[in-house]
Amino acid sequence: MKETTRTQVETMTTHPTEDELIQHGSDDLPADAAAEIGVHLGSCEPCRAICEEVRAVLRLAEATPVPEPGDGFEARMWLRIAPQLRRPDEGWHWQQFAAMAGWAALVAAIAGLTVMSRGPQKIPTAVAAEQSAPTAPERVLLTALDEHFTQTELLLVELLNAPDTTGDSLQFERAAAGDLVASGRLYRETAQETGQQGFADILDDLEPVLVDVARSPAASGSRDLDAWRARIEDAGLLFKVRAATNEVKERRDPLATASKGAL
């Protein structure tokens, strides 16, 4: 605050300027100036009202919420960012689109079965066991996941054991990873919709590594391989995939033994 203003405040014969009061209300004045105005505000209702109004406006603005982007935001953003860190000419191949169409049909089938299964629940008399058999849409998903996790396990094992190289010897792995990313997204969505969050979580864990492999340049070298291996091992992905495969098989067993023909 200027010297003249300080004198004015001290003598209480005049008021701080409106600009000073706004700055005071928004805590943007230096401490010494703020203290002087604070003294003035103790005995000046009009000036105090201005400061309070500024504070109220700021509270109003600050109270406007920012919705959290939700779980998986970071992974989602990485999926959007990662491809742009690579060569722009890397896109999807027609085979991947064809595979997507197939998976889309599978998801549609699951969705259709889900709707159909919302009628009166049939409880097979043969299944009096404690563990209930999967519903039809779950069974379709489990069948798909069985294949998906098996393929994923093969890919992870290949990556862990691949010889260090600077050539394009990972062409097959790259294509396989691309296919698994595309199918995994659909299965994850379906798993969430059918309440099988555990499988969805594993698919979520797998996706970032698969995306990196799929998007890697043709000249991927030992550094990329080392990074992938570290991530696979650090996250225990191979273990998770094997456990998931076992769980899928176990959950399909009651179907095979006691509820044939439910579809």
Give burial (CB, 10 Å; 0-12/13-18/19+) of 97.
Answer: exposed
- SS3 label, residue 202: helix
Residue 49 CB, nearest distance to another protein (Å)?
5
Q: Which residue number, 64 or 121, has a Cβ lying nearer to another protein? A: 64
Residues 81-120 that bind another protein (CB under 8 A): 81-82, 84-85
Q: How far from chain centre, in Å, is Cα 182?
A: 16
Per-residue tokens: 195:
């309440």
Note whether 18 binds another protein by CB under 8 A. yes
Greatest distance between any 2 Cα atoms in the chain: 95
| CA nearest to 206, candidates 169, 251, 242 | 242
Candidates 9-17, 128-136, 144-152, 252-260: pick the segment binding another protein (CB under 8 A): 9-17
Q: Which residue number, 53 or 147, has a Cβ lying nearer to another protein? A: 53
Dihedral angle over CA of 31, 34, 39, 43, nearest 10: -160
Q: Are 25 and 50 in contact (CB under 8 A)?
A: yes
- SS3 label, residue 122: coil
Q: Which residue number, 3 or 45, has a Cβ lying nearer to another protein? A: 45
Identity (one letter) of the amino acid at 103? W
Q: Which residue number, 24 or 148, has a Cβ lying nearer to another protein? A: 24
The residue from 4, 11, 46, 94 that contacts another protein (CB under 8 A) is 46
Q: Position of tokens 């009009």?
A: 46
Residues 200-259 that bind another protein (CB under 8 A): 208, 212, 223, 227, 230-231
The residue from 1, 37, 47, 186 that contacts another protein (CB under 8 A) is 47
The residue from 4, 13, 43, 64 that contacts another protein (CB under 8 A) is 64
Residues 171-200 that bind another protein (CB under 8 A): none
Q: How far is it, in rounded angstroms, from Cα 93 to Cα 69?
A: 31
Note whether 80 binds another protein by CB under 8 A. yes
Q: Which residue number, 26 or 246, has a Cβ lying nearer to another protein? A: 26
DSSP 205-225: HHHHHHHHHHH--TT--HHHH
Q: How far is it, in rounded angstroms, from Cα 246 to Cα 228?
A: 24
Note whether 31 binds another protein by CB under 8 A. no
The residue from 78, 162, 201, 262 that contacts another protein (CB under 8 A) is 78
- Residues at the contact surface with another protein, assessed by CB under 8 A: 15-19, 22-23, 25-26, 28, 45-47, 49-50, 53-54, 56-58, 60-62, 64, 66-69, 73-74, 76-78, 80-82, 84-85, 208, 212, 223, 227, 230-231
